[in-house]
Homo-oligomer: A and B are copies of this chain.
């Protein structure tokens, strides 16, 4: 019979850990003194302790080790548990490596001075939503402001007439691939409460269609300030997507979080992406 300190020295396990294993019932001392609470261990408990350490070393939690020690589990089951562990660790390694990739991408970005200061690109999941939308090809960029004004005016009028309330900020979808200054294929949209199902209509000669817009993973960033600076936000997202090994799988969305009439506008840019 050994006092906890001796057993600790021989086993190489701290006293605190031994007390912890006692407390959770994983390794009880062979005897505990009733009067002073002293724990007494036996050398014959070393194999059990070593089994605990060996299983812990294979990545099992103490909670998982308990049953393995109690019931005598068939090697077949042990094998199953190890296979599971294996898959779990492989998963974690993959995650760590993707994290490493992100850190390295950021370092390269800083070092190559293509550092898009001020823009932080994040990945977010956007739900599928119901929207009211209208679409037109705007001939030149100079006409964007008036055309967008007209489109959103019609949309809000339509939403009001339908007895609905927008369920979020209005946004645009740009269907032309790449940056263009002419013939900009623009879809303007207002999100509606889920489940609402109004009919199509024409307002002020503008055709409005309610529809469902697919959600998914988005690479997104927020631009704070006048719209003339927005190309920088697009560039920042583009750089992030390339550096982090994603692929653009749809047209970008521009979400007008704070409109131009309420001070400095705040605009979010989203690109639907997939891991490449």
Residues of A within 8 A of B (CB): 9-12, 43-44, 46-47, 50-51, 53-55, 57-59, 75, 78-79, 82-83, 85-86, 89-90, 92-93, 96-97, 99-100, 102-104, 106-107, 110-111, 115, 117-118, 120-126, 168-169, 220-222, 224, 257-258, 264, 266, 268
Task: Among A57, A58, A79, A92, find the residue whose CB has the most chain B CB atoms closer than 10 A.
Answer: A57
Q: Are A107 and B120 in contact, with the CB atoms below 8 A?
A: no
**Known A90-B100, A100-B86, A122-B53: A266·B46 in contact at CB below 8 Å:** yes
Q: Are B258 and A102 in contact, with the CB atoms below 8 A?
A: no
**Known A46-B268, A50-B120, A51-B120: A93·B97 in contact at CB below 8 Å:** yes
Chain B: minimal CB distance from A38 (Å):
20
**Known A168-B10, A257-B10, A257-B46: A106·B82 in contact at CB below 8 Å:** yes
Determine the distance from Cα of A123 to Cα of B59 in the docked complex, in whole angstroms.
Answer: 15
Main secondary structure of the interface of A (DSSP, over half): helix
In the complex, which residues of chain B have a beta carbon less than 8 angstroms from the beta carbon of A104? 86
Chain B: minimal CB distance from A4 (Å):
15
Determine the distance from Cα of A117 to Cα of B93 in the docked complex, in whole angstroms.
Answer: 30
Q: Are A107 and B82 in contact, with the CB atoms below 8 A?
A: yes
Determine the distance from Cα of A79 to Cα of B110 in the docked complex, in whole angstroms.
Answer: 7
In the complex, which residues of chain B have a beta carbon less than 8 angstroms from the beta carbon of A97? 93
Chain B: minimal CB distance from A65 (Å):
11
In the complex, which residues of chain B have a beta carbon less than 8 angstroms from the beta carbon of A221? 50
Residue ID in chain B nearest A218 by CB atoms: B12
**Known A12-B125, A168-B10: A43·B99 in contact at CB below 8 Å:** no
Q: Are B99 and A89 in contact, with the CB atoms below 8 A?
A: yes
In the complex, which residues of chain B have a beta carbon less than 8 angstroms from the beta carbon of A57? 102, 122-123
* 23 A–B pairs (Cβ distance < 8 Å), ordered by A: A9-B168, A10-B168, A11-B124, A12-B126, A43-B258, A44-B224, A50-B122, A51-B120, A54-B122, A57-B102, A58-B102, A59-B99, A75-B117, A79-B107, A82-B106, A82-B107, A82-B110, A86-B100, A86-B103, A86-B104, A89-B103, A90-B100, A92-B96
